[in-house]
Amino acid sequence: MVIPCKPDERRGLWMRAPSQPKDFCRPRSQAATLMHVCELPSGTKEPAMSEAIANLQAAQGRAIASRPRVGGFPYLAETLRSSGVTRNVWQLPACQSLYLTELGAVIQQGTPLASGNFDVPRFDQHALATALRTDQAGESSFPQFLSAIWHAGVIRYDVDLVERFVTYYGAEGESYVERYPAVTLQAPLMTGSQDHRESRTRIVSPFRKLRSS
């Protein structure tokens, strides 16, 4: 685990080597130039996981275990909603995900799709729709989906888990909205201390057409 520390302005980014004194730092990497970090002192306890993070991670685990391969997003979204998540905002290409929950806001930082300086792809509604249909058919992984919509010009997408729609945004204010169907999650079966959450679900309403603005 790392925590912020005072940077050395003469040397840029530094990180203390485990074998060196606490006040000694060494260069960490050329790529990480926006923050200064040092290791936690030996014996320092990591912060306890918050209730919001624990609840979100548990909900994500249940969703991943039970969602179908084809058309699985509505089930994942409903599992999160039923666990108190109201909104999810993704930033691309950073792959930073913000979850607004009843227990508090949580940020999850994934591996960025790109680094350095680059041109933002032009917003391509047709390419975005193709990426969505490919994902809904279960023909792409989530990282592949993120890469595809980034190359279609999406820099952010916002999931409203209460009203059940997703808005995809381009760099110049373009937007593309898609609603997803409501689903009913079957109550988990309990046997002793084991929670069986891999139960079947059923779709309640059909997909609605895309609309753009």
Domains identified in the chain and CATH numbers: 1-47 (no CATH), 51-212 (3.30.1810.10)
Nearest Cα neighbor of 180 from 167, 168, 169, 166 is: 166
pTM for this prediction:
0.67
Write the pLDDT tens digit of every residue in 157-204.
999 999 999 999 999 999 999 999 999 887 653 333 344 333 333 333
Q: 93: cis peptide before it, omega within 30°? A: yes
Q: How many CB atoms lie within 10 A of CB 161?
A: 24
